[in-house]
Structure 1
Amino acid sequence: MTDTLETQPLDRAPATPEDLFAFLDAHGIRTTTVSHPPLFTVEDSKALRGELPGGHCKNLFLKDKKNRLWLVVALEDTAVDLKTLDRRIGSARLSFGRPELLWETLGVRPGAVTPFSVLNDREHLVTVVLERAMTAHELLNYHPLINDRTTAIRSADLLRFLRATGHEPEIVDLGPPSGS
């Protein structure tokens, strides 16, 4: 992969939430979605989500020094230390991917990053890393490509979705939640 990746636009319009739901339906994956005001941070989500059951997660779009792209998905309270994460996932030194690269690769904006966005990664440029503790939850909650809704999906169905998009996730222990 070269630095030119960062300037290549999507060759098509990114998937919409309706495209995502059609893909999920076509693969027999049932979800539940609720609408809410746009949420941009974990703190926003905690304040406004109400009583949505299941694990609530954060999603980190990262780029390593070798230009590999990573989507790390963890429970919202897990402390993810970028200084040590590279050793846990087998990457070079990591930093956050630029918003333009996020849009060009996953077709979402900051605040709407989600494992569902790999639907737009048809080139399979992004390696998906899931926190092992997160996958132990029966239900998981993510934005469906935009941040004014939250979609609940069974953990096993998230894995089915990722594999159906050609993304075999790496499941990694990321450590105890912050405050533990």
Structure 2
Amino acid sequence: MAHLSPQALLDRLAALGIATDTVEHEPVFTVAESRPVKAQIPGAHSKNLFVKDKKGRYFLITAKDETPIDLKRTHAAIGASGRLSFGSAESLRAMLGVEPGSVTPFAVANDTDGQVTMILDANLMEHERVNFHPLVNSMTTGVSREDLIKFLRATGHDPLILRLPEPPAELPEDPAAPM
């Protein structure tokens, strides 16, 4: 089955009555690379992790870009079986129709078989406006958080919204501890 193009995605959002604001920019592949681009665009930005569990179930975790996530403990929070590992680029292309570096919650529109569970981090959902790639990493599209949920539900992916486990804080050294 053919995957949506960025324009087809934007048309689908418009058909749902979802207002979007899309900015074109240089392709960005990492959170660090995207910082200068994001500084020009209002709203919260994201990082997206395409992962699978020991039973081969796939999850798309969308979190606020700078949120630390403890992947060693996330499986328990999202109901996965055993530790999570990253899904392959081939699985990403087959299920979500995007390339690594362009992962976005909008891509679940391409998961017509419902193989991917959508997870939204509560930190991201505290923001009125949220921004994602519209299937390619050379554009960023902003929508309201309510419209993101409306879109995900329209694709058959009712998102699980939760606070993801963060890595344990480094304990401060005890000044009285022996050397």
Fold-level similarity (TM above 0.5): yes
Q: Secondary structure of 2:135's match?
A: coil
The structure with the largest alpha-carbon Rg is: 2
One-letter amino acid of the counterpart of residue 88, structure 2: R
Contact 2:48/2:63 (8 A) holds in 1: yes
Aligned to 2:58: 69
Task: Tell me by how many angstroms 1:177 deviates.
Answer: 9.2
Classify the secondary structure of the residue corresponding to 2:123: helix
Unaligned ranges ≥5, structure 2: 170-179
Residues 77, 178 of structure 1: 8 Å contact kept: no
Matching residue within 74, 79, 92 for 1:102 = 92
Give the corresponding residue for 2:45.
Answer: 56
Q: Which runs of structure 1 show a deviation greater than 3 angstroms over 4 or more consecutive aligned residues?
A: 175-179
% identity of equivalent residues: 48
1:1-180 matched pairs, under 5 angstroms: 12-92=1-81, 93-175=83-165
Change (3 A) 1:165 1:112: same
- The TM-score normalised by the length of structure 1 is 0.90
Conservation of the 8 A alpha-carbon contact between 2:70 and 2:166: no
If the length of structure 2 is used for normalisation, what is the TM-score?
0.90
1:36/1:49 contact within 8 Å kept: no
Q: Aligned with 1:118: secondary structure?
A: helix
Q: CA contact under 8 A between 2:73 and 2:165: conserved in structure 1? A: no
1:140 is matched by which residue type in structure 2?
V
Following superposition, the deviation at residue 25 of structure 1 comes to: 0.9
Once residues 166 and 15 of structure 1 are traced to their aligned partners in structure 2, the CA distance between those partners, rounded to angstroms, is 16
Could you say which residue in structure 1 is the equivalent of 2:174?
Answer: none
Residues 76 and 55 (structure 1), Cα distance of their counterparts in 2 relative to 1, 3 Å cut? same
The one-letter code of the counterpart of 1:96 is: F
Unaligned stretches of 5+ residues in structure 1: 1-11
Deviations along 1:100-126, whole A, 9 cap, x unmatched?
000000000000000000010000000
Aligned in 2, Cα 1:70/1:76: closer, same or farther, shift over 3 Å? same
Contact 1:128 1:168 in 2 (8 A): yes
Q: Distance in 2 between matches of 1:119 and 1:44?
A: 26
Return the alpha-carbon distance in structure 2 between the equivalents of residues 58 and 118 of structure 1. Answer: 15
Q: How many residues align?
A: 169
**Deviation (angstroms), 1:159:** 0.2
1:27-68, Cα deviation, whole Å (9 max, x unpaired): 100100000000100001113333211101100000111000
Shift of 1:131: 0.5
